[in-house]
Amino acid sequence: MTPPVGGATEIAARVRAGELSAASVLDEALAAIEARDRELHCFNSLMGERARERATEIDRMVGAGQDPGSLAGVPVALKDNICTRAAPTTCSSRILEGWTPPYDATVVRRLAAAGALLVGKTNLDEFAMGSSTENSATGPTRNPWDTSRVPGGSSGGSAAAVAAGMVPVALGSDTGGSIRQPAALCGVVGVKPTYGVVSRYGLVAFASSLDQIGPFALTVADAAAVLEAIAGHDEMDSTSLERAAPRCSEVLDDGADGLRVGVVSDFLADASPDCASAVRSAAEVLAAAGAKVDDVALPELLHGLSAYYLIAPAEASSNLARYDGVRYGLRVDAPDVETMNARTRAAGFGAEVKRRVMLGTYVLSAGYYDAYYAQAQRVRTIVARAFARAYGHFDVLLAPTTPSVAFAFGAKTDDPLEMYLADLFTIPTNLAGHPAMSVPFALGEAGLPVGVQVLAPALGEREMFRAAAVVEAGAPPGVRGPVGTRSAR
Amino acid sequence: MSGSGTPAGAPARAGEAGVEGYEIVVGLEVHCELATATKLFCGCTNAFGAVSNTHVCPVCLGLPGSLPVLNRRAVELAIRIGRALHCEVRPSTFHRKNYFYPDMPKDYQISQYDEPINVDGYLELPGGLRVGIERAHIEEDTGKTTHVGGGGRIHDADYSLVDYNRAGVPLVEIVSRPDVRGAEQARAYVSELRAVLVASGASDGRMEEGSLRVDANVSVRPLGSDVLGTRCEVKNLNSLRSLGRAIEHEAARQVALVESGGRVVQETRHWNEAEGRTSSMRSKEEANDYRYFSEPDLVPLVPDADLVERATAGMPLMPAARRKRVAALVGDALGGEAGASDQVATVVDLGLDDLVVAAVGLGADPSLALRRAANEAAQRPEEARRLDATAFADLLGLEVTGKLSSTQAKTVLAELLEHGGEPEEIARRLGYEALSSDELAGVVDDVIAAHPAEWERFLGGESKVAQLLTGQVMKATKGRANGRTVAEALDARRG
Ligand SMILES: [Zn+2]
């Protein structure tokens, strides 16, 4: 079946030209959601009414000869950890029950200013902690390629919504791979920008030094268009870089001639054969396009996983302290305030969140800080140095996004460490603050999509998109969404 | 002792109740609310006394997704404080101090930890003692909790109300070295620090509104010992009076404990002003492990030379420097004069030092200028700060040259303070025109003629009779005569 919604850049171009009404685009998106979300559960909530008002306004502007913006009439889904006035922001957690933010995240304001239609909030692993979207208080999201399998996570709702053709683009957040991993598992493009390129203001924090918002899209070009709309300095975020959004759309036709591409050989050994061979094939595509391709050994990157699972929980333990029942969200009453805090948190947080809060509290504790947190920060520096060494010789790196294709529900839920390994290839990028993106490139085991990851140094988005566009063009047909819902095979 | 090289100061004053044979050692932690227009990390108004929870936003309420942005003005004021306290102003970072408390919106406080912006300074007290300043760092204030019912403490209250207007107000915490000895010096330190904070423009200095909040680390040791005793931190000191009383009480408690063979336990103690005693605050709060770690939402604060220069531009002289300036003016002549340093401190406290300096610059007698400023002008400091220095200098000139008696000069000064004007003009209006020497001679002769017995005693060397005779002359001239001139006239007639 052909999903009703086309690509973002195509929609925007036709809406701006007056050939297509934003209202009709929205209707199609909402109809697709209506038709398929009961089964897939991509969305926690919809903002249809507000989106309809915006669509009417955009059509009126076009009629009046005004330009509603680069994403005019493009339906966008937002991961439900991005604050919106128009809908509750739950982080898929019970603890935020009943809370609607009194403000919009910077990315929400920028999307609206670009003419996008914000259609709903998508499911995630609670507070973005997970790799399968199974850790959600609202229930799991299903992978449209195979509904017996996970969509990946934590931004599983956004990835699946784009893969299922409900929306052409969506936003997620990536702390250790939470955009790229579900993008790979759902056969869509997912981009984690350089830390500081997209404002975090209004993104509910998981691990502040690692979190970054980025787009999901069906194509590399659409991802570039969304990134251009949301990126750029924001004075509300002190870690926001003082520079304009990278103009990645400009380089999509530049080809790979002369591009120096390093294939991270250490990762290939730890990936399943289908994921590893996709990287080799993508490298051949780049080489054929004139890139200079070589292997690079970066064994230090594999230590990133351990460092990440100390640093991210440490920050999370502090970021999630505010959910104490005093000001908003869930409150479980008790005779005194400490008991109220404890009961609220016991009832409001799921098991994985509790696990990470306890882990993080532990590693920051007096007597353990040096052995764990401080040591992890040293490893973080080592990872950054390894990347720096590689980028002395290469413009971009090529690696698998995930160790395997989408796995079945419950396959890793009993073993957190097994689940954590799903982020092995994506985490080093977050630790270094670099950009990376996943591009659908092959069908692997059971005909499921396989993503190839393109990595770049800080602010290397243009080179990254250049390479990604070449990889995308060289991919065989049928490797990416939109895909009609299929059940287990 | 500290390694700051500051003088240790005198032992606690003799006779302080219950601490004979011991030295009281005090270190002070002063939280100063910065007088910025807005809060430390958001644009909310920083003001005292507004309706609860009206000066709040997503950032200072710590709503999910909000982020802090450092207030530039708060940094500038922190740098002014650092400079005023002779600190090194250095690159610094922010940390999170994690603990659960309902008046902390994020359940962590953003504070500077191991890399504060100001380190290693000192504060010079009016007596010349230098108290070392370990650090003066930036942090955010918490909200304010009111426990309703029960004993007004969190655990027995019926319910609690939280006002977040104060949450995120910028603070600088100034931590002294344990260089203070006893209650009196502690009061002098806080009073001087308050003056410095006000002079630097960093604070309004209002202790009663909580703009300045003082905690005292108190320990005792046998006189002559150079080992620090175990300290207790005393909280809830809302005035200079409570500070002094609390230190005296706490020191006496520790001495009694030591004398009876006990040991002081390091703990936080609460000062109860009504009961006049400290009590242990040992609670769950005490057992906190704050799990400090670097605040990932903020970037390092690296004040470059430009920022420091901009921050300290136009910063006035601090009280200690102003005292030195006045003292230098009046010079050695005044060195031995009793009360001179008190007078210097008074004019600086009241902001009358500029008047004294200006009048001396116009030729006024330094010692007289200081005395009149510290004694008479000080009665009406508001008006005195507005007094024209030329008029003040002219008045002092009239007194020095004997054209006005000191009594007359004080009356003219009072008139000047109230209505302004020219001193000579005022003196004329009051009929203080100096008597002609002929007129005076006539009056003196009349008085001698009218008091022959007294005159004989005066001639016999009974000098106190001179006062009576002078008084009669003054009476006859309705105070227009200059006392000194009259005395001279009487002496001249004695031959
Ligand atoms: Zn605020």
Per-residue pLDDT reduced to its tens digit, A22-51 = 999 999 999 999 999 999 999 999 999 999
Judged by average pLDDT, the poorest of A314-328, B157-171, B425-439 is B425-439
- What average pLDDT does this structure show over A303-330? 97
Predicted confidence (pLDDT) at residue B11 exceeds the cutoff of 70: no
Q: Indicate which residue of A92, A131, A154, A249 is catalytic.
A: A154
pLDDT tens figures, A191-218 = 999 999 999 999 999 999 999 999 999 9
Q: Under an 8 A CB cutoff, do B289 and A366 touch?
A: yes
Predicted confidence (pLDDT) at residue A183 exceeds the cutoff of 80: yes
Which secondary-structure segment (H or E) carries B486? helix B483-494
Q: Where are the alpha helices (DSSP H) in B55-125?
A: 72-84
pLDDT tens figures, B192-241 = 999 999 999 999 999 888 899 999 999 999 999 999 999 999 998 989 99
Tokens for B450, please give them: 């009218």
DSSP letters spanning B11-75: PSPTT-TT-TTEEEEEEEEEEEE---SB-SSSS-B--SSPSTT-S--TTTTT-TT------HHHH
Instruction: Tell which residue, A25, A26, A30, A2, has the closest CA to residue A14.
Output: A25
**Whole-angstrom Cα Rg for chain B:** 30
Average pLDDT, chain A: 96
- What average pLDDT does this structure show over B354-359? 95
Residue A478 CB neighbour total at 10 angstroms: 12
Beta-carbon contacts of residue A452 (< 8 Å; ≥ 6 apart):
A278, A279, A282, A398, A399, A400, A401, A438, A439, A441, A442, A471
Strand bridging mode B159-163 / A436-443: unpaired
Q: Under an 8 A CB cutoff, do A238 and B62 touch?
A: no
Q: Is B268 on the interface with A (CB under 8 A)?
A: no
Q: Under an 8 A CB cutoff, do A101 and B63 touch?
A: yes
Per cent of chain B over pLDDT 70 is: 92
Predicted confidence (pLDDT) at residue B362 exceeds the cutoff of 90: yes
**β-sheet bridge partners, residue B146:** B161
Q: Which pairs from B143-152 meet CB under 8 Å and 24+ separation?
A: B143/B103, B143/B104, B143/B105, B143/B167, B144/B103, B145/B102, B145/B103
Domains and CATH numbers, chain A: 8-299+385-474 (3.90.1300.10), 301-384 (no CATH)
pLDDT tens figures, B236-250 = 898 999 999 999 999
- What average pLDDT does this structure show over B448-456? 90
The band of A77, judged by pLDDT with boundaries at 50, 70 and 90, is very high
**Helix B465-476 × helix B437-450 angle, to 10°:** 120
**Helix B389-400 × helix B406-419 angle, to 10°:** 170
- SS3 assignment, position A105: coil
Phi, psi of A271 (to 5 degrees): -100, 155
Residue-level pLDDT at B282: 66
Give how far A291 is from chain B: nearest CA, Å.
38
Across the interface, which of A102, A318, A337 has its CB nearest the CB of B58?
Answer: A102
The band of A488, judged by pLDDT with boundaries at 50, 70 and 90, is low
Residue-level pLDDT at B339: 63
Tokens for B128, please give them: 């010349």
Across the interface, which of A239, A322, A369 has its CB nearest the CB of B106?
Answer: A322
Residue-level pLDDT at B337: 55
Predicted confidence (pLDDT) at residue A176 exceeds the cutoff of 70: yes
Is A79 assigned a catalytic role?
A: yes
pLDDT tens figures, B13-59 = 444 567 889 999 999 999 999 999 999 999 999 999 899 999 999 99
pLDDT tens figures, B281-336 = 865 445 679 999 999 999 999 999 999 999 999 999 999 999 999 988 887 545 55
- What average pLDDT does this structure show over A456-484? 95
Q: Under an 8 A CB cutoff, do A364 and B299 touch?
A: no
Predicted confidence (pLDDT) at residue B441 exceeds the cutoff of 90: no
Distance (angstroms) between ligand 1 centre and the Cα of A86 equals 21
How far apart CA B213 and CA B207 sit, in angstroms, is 7
Interface of A with B (CB under 8 A): 81-83, 89, 91, 96, 99, 101-103, 105, 200-205, 207-209, 235-239, 314-315, 317-318, 321-322, 324, 326-328, 336-338, 341, 361, 364-366, 369, 373
